[in-house]
Amino acid sequence: MTGTLVLAGTPIGDLGDAPPRLAEELASADIVAAEDTRRLRRLAQGLGAVIGGRVVSYFEGNEAARTPELADELARGARVLLVTDAGMPSVSDPGYRLVAAAVEREVRVTAVPGPSAVLTALALSGLPVDRFCFEGFLPRKAGERAARLGEAAGERRTLVYFEAPHRLAASLTAMAEAFGPGRRAAVCRELTKTYEEVRRGPLAELAEWAAGGVRGEITVVVEGVGESAPARTDAAELARLVAEGEAAGLHRKEAIADVARAAGVPKRQVFDAVVAARVAGEAVSRRP
């Protein structure tokens, strides 16, 4: 008989949001794998729960090395409970490797559903929730961050990001450049905690606000390209719009940026369209 891997959601702020089953799982698990063992013990104390099994750490630094050990325990029949510092395991937190290893060994994987910063922020944002995609944390380096945002510029689904408070202003500024300054967004801070705040507005306005400094756990929700937004993604049309901008006095780089924002596509796509149009034009001019 193989064991069972249990993924348990933990409060993202308010301890009262802990799933009722969490205390039962803490008491019955053979092994509790925790992102931070000290936080785990504080959580158990707050819930009045007794941890019945062995406690091991399972965080980004040791996840790769510890996964085989826990997978072996599961294969021998252990019940392993996985908890992270806040929210559901595997969602920008440790867990994916262990789930994949358990599935490979045909070990049962189940969950104790609990709080999620992604869904909470999405619901509070005031933006469309029928279709969305979670993008996790953006890269720290400016160039890589711009490239990632450029890939998402034409996304019609609502976008959800996690961000560190000291990088929030830079990320919002980069979003305004990639998506357009007027794209609606919501910055959700300290969800379910005493100083919970949801700041809504255009990206440029939010970036200006964040420049003054923001504290706490941050989730950013950004609207996708709406049905009313230009969807002019045909290469020839993109090139024509750039030509119009240049004829109006813009430098090519500025015209490309304006067309990319209006069409909701990456600047690289517009640049490639301009190059393709130029090559096609040169080919036509060379014909006898």
Question: What pTM did the predictor assign?
Answer: 0.77
Separation of first and last alpha carbons in the chain: 78
pLDDT digits (tens, 9 = 90+) for 165-200: 999 999 999 999 888 888 899 999 999 999 999 999
Superfamily per CATH, domain 118-222: Tetrapyrrole methylase, C-terminal domain (3.30.950.10)
Given CATH 3.40.1010.10, say whether it is the number of domain 4-115.
yes
Q: What is the dihedral of CA 73, 90, 94, 24, to 10 degrees?
A: -60
pLDDT digits (tens, 9 = 90+) for 86-112: 999 998 899 999 999 999 999 999 999
Query: Residue ranges of the domains in the chain?
Result: 4-115, 118-222, 235-285
pLDDT digits (tens, 9 = 90+) for 206-258: 999 999 999 999 999 999 987 444 444 678 888 888 998 888 888 999 889 88
